[in-house]
Amino acid sequence: MFFIAACACSAGATATFDEVKSEFTPSDTLILDRHGELLHRLRTDTSVRRGQWVALADVSPALRTALVLSEDKRFYEHSGVDWRAVSSAAWGNLWNSKTRGASTITMQLAGLLDEDLKRGAAGRNVVQKIGQTVSAQLLERNWRKDQVLEAYLNLVPFRGEMVGIDALSHTLFGKAAHGLDNREAAVAAALVRAPNARVAQVVQRACAVLKSLETSGANTGKSTRASADCEGLDLFATAALQRKAFDASEGIAPHVARQIVSVRPEPVEAPDSRSTSTSSARIAGARPAAQSAIRTSLRAPLQRYAVQTLQQHLRELQGRHVEDGALVVLDNASGEVLAWVGSSGSLSNAAEVDFVTALRQPGSTLKPFLYAQAIAERRITAASLLDDSGAQIQTTGGLYIPQNYDRQFKGWVSARTALAASLNVPAVRTLVMVSPDAFQKQLVALGLPLRESGDYYGYSLALGSAEVSLLNLTNAYRALGNGGRYSPPTLTARPELVEGPATRHKTSTQALDPRAAFIVSDVLSDPLARARTFGLESILATRFWSAVKTGTSKDMRDNWAIGYSQAYTVGVWVGNASGAPMWDVSGTTGAAPIWAAVMNYLHKTQPSRAPQAPAGVVQTAVQFDAGAAAPTEAARTEWFLQGTQQSYFAINSIANSAMDTRARGLKRSKITPDRPPRITTPATGTIIALDPDIPPNRQRVSFTAEGSNLRWLLDGQVFAKGTAAQWLPWPGRHVVQIASERGEVLDEIRLEVRGAGVRVSQAGSVGKR
């Protein structure tokens, strides 16, 4: 019999304390930053509720004393088995009198360590009891008393699914084990004896423990007043047993936690399917949820600042119907994610949705890659003149008429100005040269896995009609900052990079011509080129070198700011999970202030210098002459791919005509004197989508007509004279007419304006509509 018992007890009794501790698996996974600081706690085991292993020194003196008084008064005197208690229990059983059980803390621990010794529904049989006795004595020979008590506190089952003191103290009392007072310790000790007893039984048992604590006179640490009659203990215990303070997810990086442990929440039902779609974002470092702690590449101080900054700015924008936002910071050299804020948290109605990986329309933020490709293919240079004039782009939904920032089109502008000032028509003309299909392939090479082919998107791809994730888009900008070299981002910090400076990712590929990437970076960092649209005092200007681009999707549904410095790339998105439009949020009032705040935080003490020019680029002094079509750009020095440089750029009527016939889908009407008076642009049935990147009161629709002595009427009201007119648009359906001096209507068109706008009153004041 003793041989059988010895065999039964061997599994648990022969294990060392360090082995038991190392095999302990919490039900939560701790997400740590690169230096080991706690970022987030996420429950990953739903079958049981175990907290972290708690050292005995971190358990309150009150609880240690209460447990020993309740379960094993001679714990520090016996060697695993309390033979006095055994004989007392045997004598009581003989005379059928009620006595305390003889099981010591060490014997209970032996039962917890060995599956064969665990108590069944009918209790332990004789063999199990003998095995438990032998195992307890073996444990005491190999373990110290403090190790026995520490292991017991961490492995003992409490109420319901709770196992261990860490889960109990956080769930019932909302605090760590070191903070438990006398009353809380008494309730905890009572639950050891009867984990799932009724509240009245728990209160009765806790009261007895509380009286023992006071009688013992031991130093139980800080406590609330606990009188001998246990006044108020019933109300306290009832409230504690109903409390569920141990949240399944807690901290400042919930979306990172789910990403890194490959755990996904229950599907979140959102009003717009776009908000819950996730990209095939390539993240290294995702792993099964088997580890109790996972170290990530994040920086805890930066993560906290990013969360606070995003929420603070969104609170300021709440009056403009903005609820959601996301932010990601990448290390340029290694691709490590340094901050990841997936949503606005409590400000959002879809806080569980990770907008770092959700697919949204990027607006103008794709333009830098288009111009870089065109430069790399030697179709244009940064000084090439592009026509920014009224154009009609045929789409399946009607005619799209792009609008620019100020009151009229710029005419002929350089590619540098067109990109930095985010002009739409030159971007579309550039895509005509590159082709949508080639551009789509370039975006895919940069890590933007578009769902459709370039021909599917057509020329609207230049203005961001595809859907991408913030993570992939930010990483594509990181490739620009790295001279066109692409590598996937990672959430895992490489050990050699935790303390030292980051080094280049070893698996990067050359996705873009490094010379073109350098030139585009120079354009995006040029405040003078940006000034035509954003002004010289823009929020995008930093005291250190940085390159940045903003973008807004149609109807103001998405607003972006993506940019990079020498060391970091920061991407910000704001919008609404439902896809509802924002109100009066432009490229510089939505995401840009958040981008600027985070970038300034990163460079409080760290400098950022402009990249060095790669081999194969040259700088040349250039002059411009756009003729009468537009103001001439100032002379400057410009970067060129070697072999494409020239010093003089001019436009004449021959070039103008060639441009008109070259761009498929871009139509411009010629004035023919022999024709009767008519409106030449826009065509009837035109749908005008106001550019959300541009404040409404800065947009204009251009009208042209053939004839002489013409008067322009809008919905029956005269608003201009001559063969050309400019109109400040507002949403709705409108009738535009031209009439003779006698009031005879000569021609008319009908058009529709979509998007937010402003309306000019008859008195000339401007009011929001």
Lowest mean pLDDT among 9-13, 72-76, 114-118, 123-127: 9-13
DSSP string covering 601-616: HHTSS----PPPPPTT
Amino acid type, 24:
F
Lowest mean pLDDT among 1-10, 179-188, 702-711: 1-10
Residues belonging to the chain: 769
DSSP string covering 436-497: HHHHHHHHHHTT---SS-HHHHGGGGGGT-S-EEHHHHHHHHHHHHTTTEE---BSS--HHH
3 state DSSP class of 354: coil
pLDDT for 15: 83
Sheet containing 636-641: order of strands: 636-641, 617-625, 648-650
State the pLDDT confidence band at 514, using cuts at 50, 70 and 90.
very high
Q: Is the pLDDT of residue 137 over 70?
A: yes
Q: Is the pLDDT of residue 291 over 90?
A: no
- Give per-residue pLDDT as tens, 569-588: 999 999 999 999 998 887 78
- Give per-residue pLDDT as tens, 246-257: 777 789 999 999
pTM for the structure as a whole: 0.75
- Give per-residue pLDDT as tens, 210-269: 888 877 765 444 444 445 457 788 888 888 888 876 777 789 999 999 998 864 333 333
Hey, what are 364's tokens?
């103008």
| Contact status, residue 450 vs residue 344, Cβ threshold 8 Å | no
CA distance 413 to 532: 11
Contact partners, residue 473, CB within 8 Å, separation at least 6:
362, 365, 448, 560, 562, 571
Bridge-partner residues for 569, per DSSP? 330, 564
Q: Is the pLDDT of residue 390 over 70?
A: no
pLDDT for 728: 86
CA atoms within 13 A on the CB side of 389: 18
CA atoms within 13 A on the CB side of 691: 29
3 state DSSP class of 326: strand
Mean pLDDT of 55-70: 92
pLDDT for 10: 47
Sheet containing 678-681: order of strands: 678-681, 701-706, 724-727
3 state DSSP class of 310: helix
The DSSP symbol for 226 reads -
What phi and psi, each to the nearest 5 degrees, are found at residue 15? Answer: -70, 140
Which contiguous run of DSSP H or E holds residue 21? helix 17-23
pLDDT for 404: 52
Q: E strands within 8-150?
A: 28-32, 38-43, 49-50
| Contact status, residue 172 vs residue 181, Cβ threshold 8 Å | no
Q: Is the pLDDT of residue 93 over 70?
A: no
- Give per-residue pLDDT as tens, 97-133: 444 556 888 888 888 887 766 665 555 566 667 777 8
State the pLDDT confidence band at 493, using cuts at 50, 70 and 90.
confident
- Give per-residue pLDDT as tens, 453-474: 988 888 889 989 899 999 999 9
| Contact status, residue 143 vs residue 21, Cβ threshold 8 Å | no
| Contact status, residue 162 vs residue 72, Cβ threshold 8 Å | no
| Contact status, residue 385 vs residue 659, Cβ threshold 8 Å | no
CA distance 169 to 759: 62
Task: Provide, rounded to the nearest whole percent, the portion of the chain with pLDDT above 70.
Answer: 76
Query: Greater confidence, 691 or 145?
Result: 145
Mean pLDDT of 355-372: 96
pLDDT for 283: 55
Query: Mean pLDDT score of the chain, rounded to an integer?
Result: 81
What phi and psi, each to the nearest 5 degrees, are found at residue 486? Answer: -105, 140
Q: Is the pLDDT of residue 668 over 60?
A: no
Mean pLDDT of 509-530: 95
Residue 175, Cβ neighbours under 10 Å: how many? Answer: 14
Task: Provide, rounded to the nearest whole percent, the portion of the chain with pLDDT above 90.
Answer: 43
Residue from 6, 644, 129, 657 nearest 384 by CA: 644
Contact partners, residue 357, CB within 8 Å, separation at least 6:
259, 278, 279, 281, 342, 469, 470, 471
